Every structure is written in structure tokens, then in C-alpha cells.
Amino acid sequence: MRREAKPGPRWLGTLLFVPLLLAVAWLLTRPLLWLGMDPGTVKLLVSLGAFVLFLVCLPLRLRRVWGIAHPWRCLGLNAPLRRSVPALVHGLLDAALLLSGLIMLLLALGQAHWGSGLTPGQTINALALMGVGFAEELLFRGWLWGELQLRLDQGRAAVAQAVVFGLLHTRFDQGWAIPLGLLPGMFVLGLVLAGQRSKDGNLLAGAVGLHGGLVAGWFALQSGLLRLEPSIPVWLVGPNYNPVAALPDYNPVGGLLGWLGLIQLLRLRWRWLRLSESE
């Protein structure tokens, strides 16, 4: 599905597209700080505003730069429910299987015990986090992967988007232990999600289900479904972003157990990435 690149500053446009949207959203929300709004809330509004601008500008960019007449169909979103719903469900099931394997290993190793359950508020938060899967898949496996294919073949573009995905999800402000664990894990996850979209015939729903299911499911587990031992090693379960908080905030993608699960999933998706390279 390689697209012929047209003359013009494609790389510059790719690099500046999202940062410019963030800059506009940042400028629009500055007055809220002057009015005394909480900085954390303003930061959230910046992200939401930038995503709204992204949704508005994305079809315009695809029509003008990619030469696409049907942007949402090209991004894998405008598809019949009979195709999208099964893909979404399969992605959610893959996320559930991955998390189930992680839970069983943690329980077997004595590093976790069953918790007391979720409050209604925590359940709503977990469901809302499914939106993170949609937003990031549209950004990385939708727009960015397609944008990179203006200059690269589909396989190399998949690797490039996984590198960007890993870099933007790695916390470089907390020492080098976190990047060393998260970078390879996020890179593999980026490849897995690209392979998921290829497997689903360009539909984005399966990748959204897998990504959103992992984010929402792990939040639910940490919030009350599972009780992790305080002494659990970070190399096993990933870094804890809030070690002093009452509830932990581990990221299993940066730990050994997460790597093992993702590598197994990548083995199942690699064939589809290889097929993408040959197209």
C-alpha cells in the first residue's frame, strides 16, 4: 500500500503537524491559568484541545498532502460494523489474554494477590481509558504510519512509527533505568499494534481494542482487582511512576513479564508485517 510521494516538504510537514496543533491548543488555554484554573486541569485541556484540532485538520491534510479522497476510510475507521466490531472484540480478547498471562505469573510467583474490587468511579475511569487507545492508534498507526509511507515502504514505516511511539512514551526525567526498560517494550508494542492493523485488513478497530484493552485493563488491575506486593522488583513488572502514592502506577511494558508477553504476540503478528514489506 505504498503511496507515491509528491513534491514538497513532506518531512518538515510531518515533523511540525502535531507540535503546531499542540502549540495552538496551548495558546488557547493560557487565559484559563490567568483565571486561576488548576494547572493540571489546564494541561488536560491542552491535550483534549489538541486532539480535537487533530480530528478537524486530519482529513484536510490527507486530502491535500496524501491525495486521498476518503480520509477516514484510508485511516481504517470508516468500515461496516460487521467488520469493525469483530476486529475490536478480537483486539480486546488479545489484551485480556496478555493481561491474564501476566496475572497468572505474578500470582504464581507470590508477587500479587487478588484485591477487593473496583469502586464505581474506578470502573468509569477504566472504561474512559479506552479512549486513550483510540486517540493513540489514530495518531500513530493511523496518521503517522501512513505519513511515513509517503517516503518509506510499509514495513520500514512500521519500524519508524514504533521508534517514535517508544520515544514519546518513555520517561527520560526519572533516570536511565526507566528508559532502558520502556524503550524496547514500547517499540515492540508499536510493532505489535501495526501488525494488528495489517492483520485486520487496514482496519484500526483491532489495534484500538488491543491498545485500549491493555491500558484500561491494567488500570483496573492496579486500582483494586489485584494487590501487588510492595517489594515486587521493577525489572519484573516494570517501573513504578508514583512509588510514594497509595496506589502503584507500574508500567508492565517496561518489565520482563511484559516483554515476554509482547514478544509472543509479535511472533503472531510478524507474518503480517512481513507481508506488508512485500506489498
Given this model, what pLDDT does residue 171 score? 75
Given this model, what pLDDT does residue 176 score? 61
% residues pLDDT > 70 (the chain)? 92
Given this model, what pLDDT does residue 178 score? 66
Which amino acid appears at position 137 of this protein? E
Q: What are phi and psi of 166, to 5 degrees?
A: -65, -45
pLDDT digits over 192-249, tens only? 999 999 999 999 999 999 999 999 999 999 999 999 988 899 889 988 887 767 778 8
Q: Among 25-34, 74-83, 169-178, 210-219, which is the least confidently predicted range?
A: 169-178
Mean pLDDT of 135-164: 93
Contact 130, 249 (CB under 8 A): no
172 three-state secondary structure: coil
pLDDT digits over 69-95, tens only? 999 999 999 888 889 999 999 999 999
Parse the chain into domains and list their residue ranges: 1-74, 80-278
- Of 209, 197, 187, give the one whose Cα is nearest residue 275: 197
pLDDT digits over 248-258, tens only? 889 999 999 99
276 pLDDT higher than 70:
no
7 pLDDT higher than 50:
no
96 pLDDT higher than 80:
yes
Listed in order, strand segments (DSSP E) in the chain are: 112-114, 226-228
Q: Report how far residue 89's alpha carbon sits from residue 91's, in angstroms, rounded to the nearest whole number.
A: 5
Cell 513479564, located at residue: 257
9 pLDDT higher than 60:
no
Which is more confidently placed, 98 or 11? 98
Q: Report how far residue 82's alpha carbon sits from residue 196's, in angstroms, rounded to the nearest whole number.
A: 18
| pTM of this structure | 0.91
| Other C-beta atoms lying within 10 Å of the C-beta of residue 57 | 15
Any residues with CB less than 8 A from the CB of 155 and at least 6 apart, and which?
273, 274, 276, 277
Contact 206, 196 (CB under 8 A): yes
pLDDT bucket at 6, cuts 50 / 70 / 90: very low
Q: Which helix (DSSP H) or strand (DSSP E) does residue 109 occupy?
A: none
Given this model, what pLDDT does residue 8 score? 39
